[in-house]
Structure formats: structure tokens, C-alpha cells
Structure 1
Amino acid sequence: MSMAERTQSFKSHTRFLPPFHFFVVPVLLINLLNAIGHLWLEPTGSMAFQVVVATALLLLALLSRSQVVTVQDRVIRLEMRLRLRDALPPDLQPRINELSHRHLIALRFAGDAELPELVREVLDGRLTTSKEIKMRIRQWQPDWLRA
């Protein structure tokens, strides 16, 4: 099924990367637990170092994923600020910088036609969380390229 044939909504927009979430992280976690078990049974400097290496590998995997998502969030915020300049009426344009990073990231799923209404509700305090914003979106714009 191609991306054009699939649909995305609030309920289905969370993305898992199976090789990372269901293979790499579990294997590295099992490796750490195994190293701790061996250290418990044979408390030597070499085994302690194995625990340090296993911990470093797990942290490397988690931090590399975290950094990718952080970079993508920065790109989304920039993209949304540019998009909002075109989509918002003149009275809301000067208030774009009042939107938080989380608001901008959640609003990216909204179509241009509903952005002014949603932004007004966010700025008026009627929508405060990412979840609330996403649940109010009627014309979901999928993001298939999310890292």
C-alpha cells in the first residue's frame, strides 16, 4: 500500500520504527541486563567494563534517536511559521511567535483552511495541549516522513 493510499489520523499518527523500537533497543537492553548478570556472578574489572560498554551502547542508540527527533522538530517549527504567515489573517500573523513549539508541532497536521480557527483557540487559551489541538483537527494532513 502506497503512502497516497493510506490514511492518517489522530489515532494512527504515532510512528514506530520497527528495526529501532522492536529490535535494536530490546537487544541493547538485553545486552545490558546480561552484562549486569555476568558482573553479579563474576565481579571483575573486565565484567564491570562490559556493563559500562553495554550502558554506553544503549545510551548511544537512545540519544541518536532523540537528536533526530529534535532536529526534525526544529524544521517543523520553521516550516509552520512560514506556513502560518500565508494561512493566517492579518490580525493573527503578528501573534505567531506566541505559539509554543508543541503548539506548532501539533498544528502541522491541520489543513490551511482550519489553521486560523485553531490558532485563535490556542492563543485564546481554549486549546492548550498538543493532544487537544490534534483531536480538534477535522482535515488531517498526514506526515509520513516523521522520523
Structure 2
Amino acid sequence: MEIQNYKNHRKFYPPHHFIYLPLLLLLEVFGIYKVFSDVENKLTWTLFSVVIFLILYLAIMTRQHYALGLQNRLVRLEFKQRYFEIFNKRSDEVEGKLSFSQIAALRFAYDDEFKNLLNKALEENLSGDQIKKSIRNWRPDQHRI
């Protein structure tokens, strides 16, 4: 397995990203093409295009909404647990000062870097992307969807 880092940490679900969504996109393009080329059935092809667009939109949004909503809760919970293990105190005050993007980025840092990056994030208000780029020893997250 390839070592995870900033450049390759995003994941794809091939049946969804490379088959289902491209197929829906092709059907949408085909439907729009037919709206303008088949004047006799313009209303039918317009309806076809609208239905395909709605299916495409729902396929993207529903999958992302549920999966990412749950994962975001787990990332926050992981942050709370990790903060408690490192500092032996609750993270409520610190967590309230961080954006989710910052919390999510910190999970890629090992404990020694975590402390420094957390302090920098609080003092300098580093963005999540800046935190990720600052990590020298990347701690992989192979379970993110």
C-alpha cells in the first residue's frame, strides 16, 4: 500500500465516482443534446434531462451528506479523545476555538507534531490546509470515505 501524504490522502469509491456519476453525466449531456436536436420530442427530452439531473444531484448530495456527517462527528470525537490522552484534560474550550477544518487536519499529525500544530493553529489561526502542509511526518487515515 502506498504511503499516505498530503498529495494522495483523498479517497474515491470507484463504482460511484468512475461509473455511476459519469454515466449520469453522459445521460444528462445526451438529454440536453436531444432537447435541441429532436424538436418533435423537445418536451420529452427536457423532462428526461430534468429527471437525470435530479437523480445526479441526489446521488451526489445524499451519499456525501450522510457519510461525511457521520465521519465529521467521529473526527471530532477522535480529537477529544486524543486531546485528553495527550494533555489529560477536556478539550471543550480548545475545540470551541478551532474550525472543523483545523480539527480534521490535525488528525494527520503524530502526537509530537500535534501539540505544536495545535498551538500554531490557536495562535496563528492556520487553516486546515496550512496545517496539513505543515505536517512533516504524515499520520495516515486509511478509513476516511
Give the alignment's TM-score, normalised by structure 2.
Answer: 0.85
Q: Contact 1:89–1:116 (CA<8 Å) still a contact in 2? A: no
After superposition, give the CA deviation of every residue in 1:26-47 in whole Å (9 maximum; x if it has no partner): 1111110111111222344322
Work out the percentage of aligned pairs sharing the same amino acid.
Answer: 31
Paired position in structure 2 for 1:78: 77
Q: CA RMSD in A?
A: 2.2
User: Deviation above 3 Å: which 4+ runs of structure 1?
Assistant: none
Which is helix-richer, 1 or 2?
Answer: 2
Residue 19 (structure 1) shift: 2.2
The amino acid that maps onto 2:107 is R
Query: 1: distance between equivalents of 2:42 and 2:93?
Result: 63
Residue 71 (structure 1) shift: 2.5
Paired position in structure 2 for 1:20: 16
The number of equivalent residue pairs is 142
Q: List alignment gaps of at least 5 residues for structure 1.
A: none
Residue 111 (structure 1) shift: 1.1
Give the alignment's TM-score, normalised by structure 1.
Answer: 0.84
Paired position in structure 1 for 2:95: 96
Residue 121 (structure 1) shift: 0.4
Query: 1: distance between equivalents of 2:118 and 2:49?
Result: 49
Residue 66 (structure 1) shift: 2.0
CA 1:107–1:27: 2 relative to 1, 3 Å? same
Paired position in structure 1 for 2:111: 112
